[in-house]
């Protein structure tokens, strides 16, 4: 493979999502100088070890290498960029745009009229359904999210940090201090265990049946996301989208705007099982015993319950805790009898309601590992 071909090949890999930067291209070029470039297998194995960073990259690499070894690089790039352009031209489904426009409009409307703090006590407001929440109340939800996040960060880890007063002597510092007094240990320095950081993964159902609640729940997720670095958020209806980046915005409004342009399939049907299976394929590696996974959904699934059960069992095995928040649980008449919910129950560590502020508040202790 010649240098030009190699560069085109690397570009093709990059377009397919591999992290091939100029640095890797340079390394790859160096590699070609130290191996037998006529030996197809040797070139394949060598370039693969340089240009891939994970086994997940192998199929794409193999496919493109095949094409390039048979010398048709030009065509491949053209075809490739062609598909990207076409994909971008596809407009997001109407439902999503409509939903988000109306949604942000209603947030603005709620903020405009001056709210007179009436005689209504906090308790009754806490039981009001999310559908008619005002701007300030949404702010309360953000505050609650921040409180929860704070508690998450309060477990001791195995790492140490120096402190003024503590139970363990920091020998390194103490010795250094002792030099001032001619090697006599008079002043002691201390250390304590650093707080352990629990990670949070939130997977929120935004399908049609959840419309009433998704506005509030997303506000909650937004609050979580912005008070703590280690939160990953996802939404799904029929397909799964990662929205961590979109939510990391100074204002909720702007976050919503970005969501509107980047997330597809809003308010559609629900395929929980498939969405979670998809989550597992892409993200399960990031889940560990220090991760709390929260699923926000009403459990109305149009897919196969077996798929849901399988995906959840994988998830629970890997995570520190699996929490399922179901807004419908707030209704005392509700029984989790849907096939999806029935299949899911054995794998859930905490099954709790999430239809109002009080229920979110009650959640606090469950989120601490």
Interface positions with other proteins (CB under 8 A)? 19, 21, 23-24, 27, 30-31, 34-35, 41-42, 45-46, 48-50, 52-55, 58, 157-160, 171-172, 175, 178-180, 182-183, 185, 285-286, 288
Query: Minimum Å distance from CB 245 to other proteins?
Result: 15
Q: Residue 262, exposed/middle/buried by CB under 10 A (0-12, 13-18, 19+)?
A: middle
Query: Minimum Å distance from CB 276 to other proteins?
Result: 18
Of 196, 366, 216, the closest CA to residue 294 belongs to 366
Nearer Cβ to other proteins (128/310)? 310
| Residue 131 CB neighbour total at 10 angstroms | 11
Nearer Cβ to other proteins (45/362)? 45
Nearer Cβ to other proteins (19/331)? 19
* Strand ranges inside the chain, DSSP E: 155-163, 168-169, 190-196, 199-205, 231-236, 240-242, 291-296, 321-326, 350-353
Query: Minimum Å distance from CB 11 to other proteins?
Result: 17
Nearer Cβ to other proteins (193/248)? 193
Nearer Cβ to other proteins (82/156)? 156
Nearer Cβ to other proteins (23/114)? 23
Query: Minimum Å distance from CB 138 to other proteins?
Result: 33
Query: b or e along 305-324 (b: 16 or more beta carbons within 10 Å of the residue's beta carbon)?
Result: bebbbbbbebbbebbbbbbb
Query: Minimum Å distance from CB 60 to other proteins?
Result: 14
Helix axes 58-69, 40-51, angle to 10 degrees: 140
Query: Minimum Å distance from CB 22 to other proteins?
Result: 12
Sheet holding 190-196, edge to edge: 155-163, 190-196, 168-169
């Amino acid at each position: 493979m010649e240098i030009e071909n190699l560069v085109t090949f690397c570009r093709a890999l990059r377009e397919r999502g591999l992290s091939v930067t100029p640095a890797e291209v340079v390394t790859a070029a160096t590699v070609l100088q130290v191996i037998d470039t006529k030996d197809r297998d040797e070139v394949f194995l060598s370039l693969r070890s340089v240009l891939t960073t994970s086994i997940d990259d192998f199929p794409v690499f193999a496919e493109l290498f095949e094409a390039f070894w048979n010398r048709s690089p030009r065509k491949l790039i053209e075809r490739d960029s062609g598909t990207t352009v076409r994909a971008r031209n596809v407009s997001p489904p109407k439902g999503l745009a409509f939903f988000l426009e109306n949604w942000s409009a209603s947030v603005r409307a709620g903020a405009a009229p001056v709210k007179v703090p009436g005689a209504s006590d906090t308790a009754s407001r806490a039981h009001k359904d999310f559908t008619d929440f005002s701007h300030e109340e949404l702010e309360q939800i953000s505050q609650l999210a921040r409180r929860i996040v704070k508690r998450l960060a309060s477990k001791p880890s195995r790492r140490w940090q120096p402190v003024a007063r503590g139970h363990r002597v920091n020998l390194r510092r103490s010795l250094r201090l002792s030099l001032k007094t001619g090697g006599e240990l008079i002043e002691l320095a201390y250390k304590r265990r650093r707080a352990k950081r629990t990670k949070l993964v939130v997977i929120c159902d935004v399908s049609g049946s959840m419309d009433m609640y998704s506005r509030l729940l997303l506000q909650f997720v937004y609050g979580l996301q912005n008070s703590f670095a280690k939160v990953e958020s996802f939404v799904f209806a029929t397909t799964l989208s990662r929205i961590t980046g979109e939510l990391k915005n100074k204002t909720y409004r702007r976050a919503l705007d970005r969501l509107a342009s980047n997330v597809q399939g809003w308010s559609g049907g629900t395929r929980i099982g498939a969405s979670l299976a998809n989550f597992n394929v892409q993200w399960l590696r990031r889940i560990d015993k220090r991760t709390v996974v929260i699923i926000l959904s009403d459990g109305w699934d149009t897919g196969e319950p077996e798929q849901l059960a399988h995906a959840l069992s994988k998830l629970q095995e890997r995570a520190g805790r699996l929490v399922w928040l179901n807004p419908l649980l707030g209704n005392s008449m509700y029984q989790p009898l849907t096939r999806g919910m029935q299949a899911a129950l054995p794998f859930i560590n905490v099954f709790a309601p999430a239809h109002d502020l009080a229920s979110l508040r009650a959640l606090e202790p469950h989120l601490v590992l």
